[in-house]
Every structure is written in C-alpha cells, then in structure tokens.
Structure 1
Amino acid sequence: MMRQYELVERVKRYNPAADEALLNRAYVYAMMAHGNQKRASGDPFFGHPLEVAAILTDMRLDDATIAAAVLHDTVEDTEATLEEINKTFGPQIGALVDGLTKIKRLDLVSKRAAQGENFRKLLLAVADDVRVLLVKLADRLHNMRTLQFMPEEKRRRIAEETLDIYAPLAGRMGIHEMREELEDLSFRTLNPDAYNTISKHLQDLTAKSEKLVDEIERDLTAKLRDRGIAARVKGRQKRPYSIWRKMERKSVAFEQLSDIFGFRVLVKEIDECYRALGVVHTTWPTVPGRFKDYISTPKQNDYRSIHTTVIGPGSQRVELQIRTEAMDEVAEYGIAAHSLYKDSLNGDGQLVGESRAYQWLRRTVELLAEGDNPEEFLEHTKLELFHDQVFCFTPKGRLIALPRGATPIDFAYAVHTDVGNTAVGCKINGRMAPLLTELQNGDEVEIVRADGQTPPAAWESLVVTGKARASIRRATRAAVRRQYTGLGRQILERAFERAGKPFSDEKLKGALPRLARASFEDVLAAVGRGEMFSGDVVRAVYPEHKDDRRLAGEAARSRARGTIDGAEGGPGIPIRGLNSDLPVRFAPNGGAVPGDRIVGILTPGEGVTIYPIQSAALAAFDNEPERWIDVRWDVEASEPQRFPARISLQSINEPGTLAQISQVIADHDGNIDNISMVRRTHDFTELTIDLSVWDLKHLNAIIAELRAKRVVSRVERVTG
C-alpha cells in the first residue's frame, strides 16, 4: 500500500507547487475513516482509494482531484458525512466527492433503473466538473484490475457495465489508453477462452515479427531523417479485444488479419505531419480507402492524427498514425491532457474554456436529462457513446459529426430539435432522397420542413443517435398527451352539459386540490385516458351535485342507440377514423363503418374503442356506465377513408372458390386485410375475412354480391 510521503512525491514530480498539506490531510482523514475495512481480496480497503489516486497521478491531475480520489469512498462506505467533507476540505472537493457517491435507498423498480439513476447522477455531476468523471474512470479501472476477487455473477455484471458504458465513455473523452485497458479487462472476464486464445496468438506473432517491427521502425526513421524531419517512430501491437472485435465485425480468422501491428510517427509541428505523410506515400504503395485526416477534421473527443496504411517492407501492410507530440498526449490522456483543463482553472477550480470532448458531454447531459426515466437515460447515453463517425455538412457548410449508420433524421436532430420534429423530407447532395437513407462521409444534407409536423413514433426505432431517439420520444409523448387532453375536454364538456352545469377552465382549476392533480391539463389528460371519470370531475367542481352512475350509463346507452345515426351526427364526440386527432381504435372483432350506429367505450391508457351498437361485446360493459361515451361519425365526403369490417361465410369446397370470392371483393373496390379458413366438413369451408370498406352501403353491396354466388352458401357480417 502506498505510503503518505509516496503520494506527495508522485504529485510533486509533475507539480512542484502541489499543496502538500491538503494531500497529507486527505490521506490521514481517509485512512482514519476506513479504519479496518477490508476489500473482497482481504487487503485493507484504504489501499483502493490510494490506487485510484495513483492512476490519476500518472495522468498528472491537480491537487483537488487527487484529494477527491483519496476521499471518494468515505461518504458512501464510512461514517463520514458530506457536510464534514465540505467543512474540512472545502466545497470544491466536497462537490467532487458528492458526484462520486452512489445513490442509496432509492425506491427503484429494477437493478437497471438503479444503474441508470446512478449513472444519471454521475453525468450531471460531470457536467459541472469533468474531474468527477476522471476519478470515476480511475475508480472503475482499479476495480477491474482486482475483479478476480469478486463472485462470478458480480464479475460478469461489472464487466458488462464497464464494456457498455465506462470504456466507451473513456473513449469519448479521448482517454484511449484507459479505454483499451478497460475493454481488455472486461473481455478477459466475459469471454476468457477467446481472450486466452488471442493472447497466445499475439505472443507467438510477436516473437516471430520482432525483427520486422524493428526493421520498419529503423527504415521509417531513416527516410524521414533524410528529408529533414526529426521524428520518433513507435511500433505498437493491437490489444486482444480490438482484434476480437475486428474478427467478429469482418468474420475473419486471426491469421487473415494483416494489421496486427501499427506504428506512430511523432513529430514536433503540424506541417511536419503532412511532410511525413508525403515521404510515406512516395516511398511505399498506399492501400486505397485507408486514409483519414483527423487533423483538419478532429474527432469530437479532440483526437487529431493522420491515419494511412501502406504496403511496407516484406510486403507487409503497415498502419501508420502521424501526429505531433502534443496530439499524442491528448490521444493517450484525452481531456486530462488538454491544456485548457490544466491552465485555465479559475479560483473556484472551474474551467474557463472547454475542450470539444467536454462540450459534447455537457450537451449530451443537457439533452438526456430532460425528464426521461432512468432506464431510457441509460439507453440513450449508450447510443451516444458508441460513435464510429461520419462527417456531413449543412447547405451553409456547418460540419455535423454523426455515428456510422446515421440517417437524415439523425442529422436533422443534430442540427436542432425543432428541425428534427418538423422534418418531412431531405435533399442529399442536391437530390431528393428518403429520410432513411444512410449518410456517407462528405454528404451535404438539406432538411425539408413543414410547420405543425409531429415526428412519427416509428422513427424512434430507426434512428441511431441518443439525441434523436430522446427527442422523438418526448415529441410523441407530447402529441399523445395533446390527443388525450383534447378528448378529455370533449368528454367533460358533454358530462357537464348532461348534468346541467356550466363548464369553464376557471371552475375546473379551482377544483384541482380535490382532484389531486397539479394542473388543468393533467385533469383533461387523465379523463381522456380513462384514469379519471367525468362524473368525479363534475362532483369536484359542484360538490352539491348528485347523480346515479347506473342511470347515467343507461341514459348514455339510450342516447347512443337512439340518436347516433350514421354521419348525420347528434351531440356526440365526432369520429373521423384511425387518423383522427383523438386516440381512437375500432372493435377488434368486426370493427365499425360509417352508417353504423356506434358507441364509444373508454379504456384507460388506450383511448376510445368504437363498437357498432348491435355488438354483443358491449354487454361486458353494462356494469361500467362511466366508460360509455357519446360518439358520432364525422367523415368528409371529399376525403373518403376506409374502415375495418369483418364477414363470415361458408363456401363450397371446390377449386376456384377462393378466387371467385376475392374477385367479388376486388370488383367492388374492397380491400382484404386478413383471411382465415377452417375446414368444417368435407364439402364446406368456413372463412373469416377482414375487410377495409368505405361505409355501410359499400359493405352491404359486397355481402349481397357474395350471397348471389353459387359457391357461397352463407355470408353474414361479424360485429363482435
């Protein structure tokens, strides 16, 4: 276990002006707080926060971060309190420790929800101070290094979480060395056989290729030196998880991989990167399609480098990364190496400027923290973390970075949420294209918009970015809420009319305390969803009003049977079909068509189900009169719509019978949605056919024509 003076010495190696008193105070406080606590390995628990601090000293972080690392488990695992930390070490370190403290005693419905809630709190704290994330990643790295002491089931859960969230998060922050180690440690736990096999292959390959690697390093260094470029060339071997992922992605065996080894060319200045590239490309043949310039177009995590692949000595494929020494430091340590972070802290320890990676993180947190539940938050964040980027442009030249597989819908939401919500089409490179087109590098995308447009709910499963998915889900929920709010208002207006009482928004707002709802809109939506009955609202507004629900229900049924007749109307709520502004569906066993006398049944959470008044299914609701809703048809003759209907028929079992039946329906402009057949006897077959028709007259014409056919012995409509 690291001693007190060793911790101070590690910090002073890169920061001679370190606050030695602060580090000593944090060390002693944490040691006393953890006391005799042990880890699963049997080692003193206090050794863990010290190892976390040691990892962060390798990244050359500031005194406050090192102190927070030493203290990060005290509030969670000891008798120490956050108030005590704030008092002893100041609010800056207290905020860091608080951001790292897990949520306890939460009433959450699942482990996944708890994981999501903890992760939400972590990222919200990170949005205030990125050092929270750096300590958390170091904490996870040390836990993964000692994972073998945990029970197997817990090992797998932690490794999966690391591979799903923390390793990609380290990558998005540009800390690639840590990301790769987290991936390998997770891979070793989740798939030990594959890990061991690949590691053995790598050991054998390293032994065989050692001379070739040295030769390429010497040859490349010499050629650059001859052109006046002082460069440092480093050979590196890919890690097991990276190799495994490539084997899985390309469905190839280990022996088929030709880029196990890569080389980094490190120079002093940016112009030397391009000069070195010229030397490489004029010396060895390039591999087409393997060139990327992340210097002119950096990744969102601030990664900058030139990537190319050539056929080098011995006809070997050689992957090269060309960058400056400063770029290499950012590539290894990401945001922790960013000069803004080290040099631009104000007196409160806050960043004066921000790197692109931190800006991305803040935007992600702001977008994903707007009301989604913990599980959705976790899902969307995962989508944002896995980024193999494609770069596209707006017509004005703004660069938009998106994941591979992104569509113009993702592009629209990346530009602005309002652009995504109102998107109806797009142009890619000046030509109209479907919104589901997969975007390619360099595409110029123009989004066609329409006011009043709401994104279809189906888009949620088609987009690949977390921002798009979260925005679509919110817009869909808002649209559904508006539907239920509109339905609820119509139901209440008619309920107050039946009760002979005036209805107004002001009167309803005055009854909110009695209805236990926070807003007027909440009441309307609850009534529309069927979660609150209209009679209860009437009595809340007019406590002296009394009614008999059964009599009211009978009256509603009487009105439904007596006054609702086809499209002529009556006082009921207008029904326009499945594309209505109201949440409407039709009876599952038979549907309903204009011309039928109809009644609506309110189903909690589903809206209104429309039944023909003669439907036998209505008997099931006789004891629930509060669910009966007055409805009427409101179909425009100029905008005809098809409606669902079902017929049952008995046909003679002979060749061509089904063709004759289908022909009758087609000749009458009917549409068959579904058909089922059951052989009742050797001579007869029972058919049930779901149709789409214009109205009752249209349906009756089809039935009459079918009855006239010799092959049909019986046909009748099914009404449920």
Structure 2
Amino acid sequence: MMRQYELLERVNRYNPAADEALLNKAYVYAMHKHGTQVRASGDPYFSHPLEVAAILTDLRLDDATIAVALLHDTIEDTDATRAEIDEMFGPEIGKLVEGLTKIKRLDLVSTRAKQAENFRKLLLAIADDVRVLLVKLADRLHNMRTIRYVPPHKRIAVAEETMEIYGPLAGRMGMQEVREELEELAFRVLNPEAYEAITARLENMRTRNASLIQDIESDLTTRLAENGMQARVSGREKRPYSIFRKMQRKSVSFEQLSDLYGFRVVVDTIDDCYRVLGVIHTTWPTVPGRFKDYISTPKQNDYRSIHTTVVGPSRQRVELQIRTRGMHRVAEYGIAAHALYTDREGGGRNIARLTADSRAYEWLRHTIDLLSEGDNPEEFLENTKLELFHDQVFCFTPKGRLIALPRGATAIDFAYAVHTDVGNTCVGCKVNGRIMPIMTELKNGDEVEIIRSKAQTPPAAWEALAVTGKARAAIRRATREAVRQQYSGLGRHIVERAFQRSGKPLGTEDLEHAVSRLGQPGVEDLLSAVGRGELSSNDVLRAVYPIDVAETEARPAKKAPVRKPKPAASEQGGSLPIRGIEGDLPVRFSPDVGAVPGDRIVGILMPGEGVTIYPIQSPALKEFDDQSERWIDVRWDIDESDPPRFPTQISVAAINEPGSLAQITQAISEADGNIDNIKMLARGNDFHEMIIDLEVHDLKHLTRIIQGLRALPVISEAQRVNG
C-alpha cells in the first residue's frame, strides 16, 4: 500500500506548491474512517482510495481532486457525514464527495431503476463540477483492475456497466487511454474465450514481425528529418478489444484484418502536420477511403488528428495519426488536459479548476438538458447510452452548419439535432438536393434540408427509427403531449356537458379554482384526468359548487327517466361530424354492432377511449340512459365520390348441404360486399347458423346484400344483427 509521503511525492512532481496539509489531513481522515474494513482481495479497504488518488496524479490534477479521491467512499461506506467533511475540508470538497456517493435508500421496483437513478445523480454532480467524473472514472478503473476478486455474478454486472456506460463516457470526454483500459478489462470478463484467442494470435504475429514496428518508426523518423521536420514517432499493436470490435463490425476474421499496427507522429505545429502528411503520402501508397481530417473538423470530444492508412514495408497496412503535442495531450487525457497551471500571488503555483469550455463538456451539458425534460431515470439511462457511442458522421445544413451524428443516424436524428421544433414539424427531407425518405441513413458530407409543416406532430413510430437519445426523448415527449391533449379535449366535453345538465355556468376561472381542491397541477391536467376516467365530472362539479351540489344530493333521489332515442343527426343543429370531432378526439364504431351511413347514429363519450358511434336502435345504449352528459349528436360526413366501407354484422341460417357456404360468399362478393370474418354459431343436421362480419358502403348497400342472400335457395333466414 502506498505510503503518505509517496503520495505527496507524486503530487509534488507536477505541482511543487501543493497543499500538503490538505492532502495529509485527507489521508489520515480516510484511513481512520475506513479502519479495519477490507476489500474482496483481503487488502485493507483504504488501499482502494489511495490507488484512485494515484491514478489521478498521473492526470496531474489539483489538490482538491486528489483529496476527494482519498475521501470518495467515506460517506457511502463509513459513519462520515457531509456536514463533518464540510467542517474539516470545506464545502467544495464536501460537495464533490457527496456527488460520488450512491443513493442507498431508494424505493424502486428494480435494480435497473436503482442503477438509473444513481447514474442520474452522478451526471447531475458531474455537470456541476467535472472533477466528479474524473474521480469516478479513476474509481471504476481501479475496481476493474481488481475485479478478479469479485464474486462471478457481480463481476459480470460490473463489467457490463463498464462496457455500456463508463468506457464510452470516458471516450466522450476524450480520455482515450482510460477508455481503452476500461473496455479491455471488461472484455476480458465478458468474453474470456475471445480475449484469449485474440491475445494468442497477437503473440504469434508479434513473433513473426518482431522488428516491423521498429523498422517503420526508424524509416519514418529518418524521412521526416531529411525534410527538415523533428517528430516523435511511436507505434503499437491494436488492443484485443479494438480488434474484436472491428471483426464484429466488418464481419471479418482475424486473418482478414490488415491494419493491426498503428503509428502516431507528434510534431510542433499544425503546419507540420500537413507537411508530414505530404511526406507519408509520397513515400507509401495510400489506401483509398481511409483518410480523415479531424483537425479541420474536430470530433465532439475535442479530438483532433489527421488519420491515414498506407501500405508500408512488407506490404503491411499501417494506420497513422498525425497531431501536435497539444492535440496529443487532449487525445490521451481528454477533458483532464484542460487543467491549467496558473500563477497565484506569492509565487505559488496551483492547478486551476478544469475549464468547461470544451466541446466534450458542452455535450455533457446537453445530456443534462435531456434529463431536465422530465424523462424517468430508466429512459434517461437508455438515451444516455445511445448518446455515448460516438462513431460519427458529419453532415451539413443548407447554410453550412456542421451537425455531428452517430453512425447509422437518419434524417429524423438530423432534424432533432438542429432543433427540437425542427424535428417535431419535420415531414420530409432532401439529401444532397434530392427528396429522400425520412428514414434515410446519412453519410459523411451529406447536405440535409428538412421539409417542415406546422400541422405536423411526430408519429410515435419514429421513436423506433431514431438513433440518437435526443430524438427519441423528444418524440416520446411529443407523443405524450399529443395523448394528453387528446384526453384533455375529451375531458372538456364531459365536464361541459355535466355542467350544462346541472344548469351551472362554467368558466376558466371556475376550473382554476377546482384545480387545487382536486390535487391537479393545472387545468389541462384536470381535464386530462377526467378524459382518462381518473376523475368523474361530478368530482369537478362538486369542487366548483360544493354547497349547491351537496344540497342536490341531499334531496330524495328520483328515478332516472328512460332515455328516448335521440333524433337523427340531420334533424339536429350544430351536430359534430364523425370525422374531425372537435378536439381531435379518437372516434370508433361499436365493436359489437357497427354502424353504416343511413343509420341514425349517436356518439357516446368514453373516458380514456374517445367517442364510440352506435346506431340509435342499438340495445347497448340502454346502459347510458342516465348519463346524458356523455351523449353527442353526430352526423355522417361521407365523400360520395369515394365512399369508404363501414363495419356491420348479419346473421344467416342456411341449409346444411355441400356448397352452401360457397353460394353465400359468392352472393356477397357479387354485391360488392367485403367479408371480414365468419363465425359458426350452431350446426345441425338440416341447418347451420352463422354470424358474418361485413364491410359495406351504406344502409342501401347492406339491404341489397341481405335481399340477395334471401333469394338464394339454400338460405332460410338472413338479417342484420341488432338491426
């Protein structure tokens, strides 16, 4: 276990003005609090926060972050409290330690929900101070380095979480070295057979090509020096997980991979980067389609380099990355590279707080914006996972704005990346000037123009087509809002009719007064609750007129009158059309009897369902006799030039002889009827009875079909069900 003085030495190497008193106090406090606790390996528990602190010294972080690393498990695993840490180390360190503390007492139904809520809490803390992320990644890295001591069932869960969340999160923050090690350790746990196989192949390849890396390094360094450029050239094999991922993505075997070696060329200036590129491309043949310039177009995690692949010595493909020293520091340490030395008064030097002006941190703030929209923790975790995987394509708006999207993204994702309102009103797209399907997968360099309509709302099916978390979350919110408005419209109808029946006036102020009494956030929420059937219209009436309603209810109840059939829609004024009932309420026909044009019809408000259309003669209407506020006068609204079909049922009794069913279906077909279903009710020696579900244009069409059936010699009886 690292000694106290050894930790101070590590910090003093890059920060001679370190606050040794703070670090000593944190060391002693954490060691005392963890006391005799031990890890699964049998080592003292305090060895873990010490190793986390050591990892952060490699990133050259400030004294407060090193102290937080020493203290990060004290609130969670000991009797230490936030108040005590605030008192001893100050509120800044206390806040950071609390941000790293998992939520223990959660009343959640699943482990996944608990994981999601803890992750939400962590990201909120990271958004407030990015040093929380750096400590968390170092914590996870040390836990993965010692994961062999964890029980197997827990080992798998930790490795999966590392692979799905923390590895990609490190990558999105530009911390490539940390990401690669996290993924490598997780891969070793999750797929040990593949790890061992690839490692063995790499060892064989290393034996065969023992001097290849050294030869290329030497050759390239010499050629650059001949052209007046000083450069540091280093080469290495690709890591096993990187190789495995490429084999999976391209569906190739290990032997088919041709670029297993990677080289980095680090120079002083951007101008030198492009001069190096010229030397490389005039020395070795390039591989077409394998050139990327991330200097002119940086990745979202601030990564900048030139990538190219050439056919080097021994006809071996090699990848090269060309960058400046500053770019290399960002590529290795990511957001941690933004730690800046600043001179303080008195000649001391300290590391300032990490700056939040990086593109990677901007992405993190964007992710927190998604969280603030009100999605539940599990949806947030799902959306964040989608955002983490950062293989990207770069597309442009017609005005030249660059939009970075995950590989596989569609025009839907592009629209939401521009702005949520653009996505919600998207009806089509043009890709490179051509009208294309909205689900078109975008490629690097595509220019995308979104076609919009104010009347559009995103279909719920888009959620399955979207790739980005932002698009999915926005579509889900828009769908919820559309459903909410639909229920709100239905609830308004029900409430207005209840007030009309009682003879009481209803205004917006009355509903606002009822909101608090009924425990609803707002008027629209109240109406939605009525539309969903969670509140009754009488509850609203009582909330607005509590005394009057109480007096009415105290009177002797009268027998509800039997409701007479309402007159046909054509005899009523101000009737609602079936299509486009105000408020865009959902409309459906009674599943039992249906209705066809020519029938006198009535609409019944169904809480949570919309409006159901019944023929006026339907026996099912008896159950609504005492609920007059739910009855709506409706009319047919038929385009006679293109009449649609409507559902209905007929019952048929036919002679039981071969070919009788064929005659029935032929007669219906010749009369232009459409059979949906045939259900046999009874079958005897002489007759069989059946119910036939039909689709017809109108009542005249139905009558013609029934008359045609009755004319058949095999038919004993044919009539409309409930007609």
- TM-score, structure 1 length as denominator? 0.89
Give the equivalent residue in structure 2 for 1:645: 647
Quote the Cα distance in structure 2 between the aligned partners of 1:549 and 1:688: 48
**What residue is the counterpart of 1:319 in the other structure?**
319
Q: Mark the runs of 5 or more structure 1 residues left unpaired by the alignment.
A: none
Question: Relative to structure 1, is the Cα distance of residues 526 and 34 closer, same or farther in structure 2, using a 3 angstrom cutoff?
Answer: same
Whether the 8 Å CA contact 2:124–2:368 is kept in 1: the answer is yes
- How far off is 1:588 after superposition? 4.2
Given that 1:648 and 1:688 are in contact with CA atoms closer than 8 Å, whether structure 2 keeps it comes out as yes
Q: 1:349/1:16 Cα in 2 relative to 1: closer, same or farther (>3 Å)?
A: closer
* 1:417 aligned to which of 417, 420, 423: 420
**1:12 equivalent in alignment to 2:12:** yes
Give the distance between the partners of 2:558 and 2:316, measured in 1 at CA: 86
CA separation in 2, counterparts of 1:34 and 1:663? Answer: 84
Given the superposition, is the C-alpha separation of residues 581 and 264 from structure 1 closer, same or farther in structure 2, using an over 3 Å criterion?
same
> 1:257: which partner in 2?
257
Say whether the 8 Å CA contact 2:309–2:320 is kept in structure 1. yes
Call closer, same or farther: CA 1:448–1:187 in 2, change over 3 Å: same
Evaluate the alpha carbon distance shift between residue 132 and residue 699 of structure 1 in structure 2; reply closer, same or farther with a 3 A threshold.
farther
Distance, in Å, in 2 between the alignment partners of 1:636 and 1:342 is 75
1:612 CA displacement? 4.7
Task: Judge conservation of contact 1:603–1:609 (CA < 8 Å) in 2.
Answer: no
Judged with a 3 Å threshold, the aligned counterparts in structure 2 of structure 1 residues 510 and 292 are, in CA distance, closer, same or farther, namely same
For the structure 1 residues 238 and 661, does the alpha-carbon distance in structure 2 shift closer, same or farther, using more than 3 Å as the test? farther
- The match for 1:143 is 143
Query: Which letter does structure 1 place at the counterpart of 2:647?
Result: A
CA contact (8 A) 1:82 1:98 kept: yes
Partner residue, 2:633: 632
> Residues 553-702 of structure 1 correspond to what in structure 2 (within 5 A)?
558-559=562-563, 562-563=565-566, 565-566=568-569, 575-576=578-579, 581-589=584-592, 591-594=594-597, 595=599, 597-600=601-604, 602-604=606-608, 606-612=609-615, 629-637=630-638, 642=644, 644-647=646-649, 653=659, 660=666, 663-664=669-670, 667=672, 674-675=676-677, 695-701=698-704
Partner of 2:530: 527
- Whether the aligned pair in 1 keeps the contact of 2:594 and 2:649 (CA below 8 Å) is no
Q: Deviations over 1:565-601 (max 9, x none)?
A: 3565588876437997114444445544453534536
Contact 1:586 1:592 in 2 (8 A): yes
Q: Which amino acid aligns with 2:61?
A: L
- Equivalent residues in 2 for 1:239-250, closer than 5 Å: 239-250=239-250
1:422-450 CA deviation, whole Å, 9 max, x = no partner?
A: 11222222222221111111111111222
Amino acid at match of 2:601: R
Q: CA deviation at 1:378?
A: 0.6
Matched, 1:486 2:489: yes
**Count, aligned residues:** 709
Counterpart in the other structure of 2:75: 75
Question: Is 1:598–1:610's contact at 8 Å kept on the other side of the alignment?
Answer: yes
2:667 touches 2:708 (CA, 8 Å); kept in 1?
no
Provide the C-alpha distance between the structure 1 equivalents of 2:526 and 2:356, rounded to a whole number of angstroms: 46
Corresponding residue for residue 544 of structure 2: 541
Are the equivalent residues in 1 in contact too, given 2:533–2:607 (CA < 8 A)? yes
**Separation (CA, whole Å) in 1 of partners of 2:558 and 2:365:** 55
**Structure 2 unaligned spans of 5+:** none
Cα 1:337–1:566 change in 2 (3 A) is same
For residues 127 and 525 of structure 2, the distance between their equivalents in structure 1, rounded to whole angstroms, comes to: 32
Say if 2:519 is the partner of 1:516: yes
Instruction: Report the CA distance shift for 1:72/1:353 in structure 2 as closer, same or farther (over 3 A).
Output: closer
* 1:641 positional shift: 7.8
Q: 1:198 to 1:209 in 2, by over 3 A?
A: same
C-alpha distance in 2 between matches for 1:486 and 1:549: 32
Seen in structure 2, the aligned counterparts of structure 1 residues 159 and 588 have a Cα distance that, compared at 3 Å, is farther
DSSP 3-state at the match of 2:531: helix
Does the CA contact (< 8 Å) of 2:568 and 2:601 recur in 1?
yes
Distance 1:140 1:661, change over 3 A: farther
Check the 8 A contact 2:682/2:690 in 1, yes or no.
no
Question: How much has 1:532 moved relative to structure 2?
Answer: 0.7
Corresponding position of 2:157: 157
Structure 1 residue aligned with 2:374: 371
Residues 514 and 544 in structure 2, CA contact (< 8 A), matched pair in contact too: yes
Give 1:603 deviation, angstroms: 4.6
What amino acid sits opposite 2:25 in the alignment?
Answer: R
Cα distance change, pair 615–608 in 1 and its aligned pair in 2 (3 A): same
Structure 1 residues 318 and 526, CA gap change in structure 2 (3 angstroms):
same
Q: CA deviation at 1:688?
A: 7.2
* Closer/same/farther in 2, CA of residues 711 and 243 from structure 1, 3 Å limit: farther
Equivalent residue runs for 1:184-195 within 5 Å: 184-195=184-195
| 8 A Cα contact 1:512 1:519, kept in partner | yes
Residues 119-138 of structure 1 correspond to what in structure 2 (within 5 A)?
Answer: 119-138=119-138
Aligned partner letter, 2:448: V
CA distance in 2: counterparts of 1:452 and 1:166, whole angstroms: 41
Give the residue type in structure 1 aligned to 2:420: T
- Name the structure 1 match of 2:467: 464
Q: 2:90 maps to which residue?
A: 90
Q: Is the 8 A contact 1:599 1:628 kept in 2?
A: no
Q: Identity of paired residues, percent? A: 63
2:21 matched residue in structure 1:
21
Equivalent residue letter for 1:463: A
Distance 2:2 2:555 in 1: 76
Equivalent in the alignment of 2:478? 475
From 448, 456, 467, give the equivalent of 2:451: 448
Give the 3 Å change call, closer, same or farther, for CA 699–150 of structure 1 in structure 2: farther
SS in 1 for 2:210: helix
Shift of 1:419: 1.1
Contact 2:86 2:94 in 1 (8 A): yes
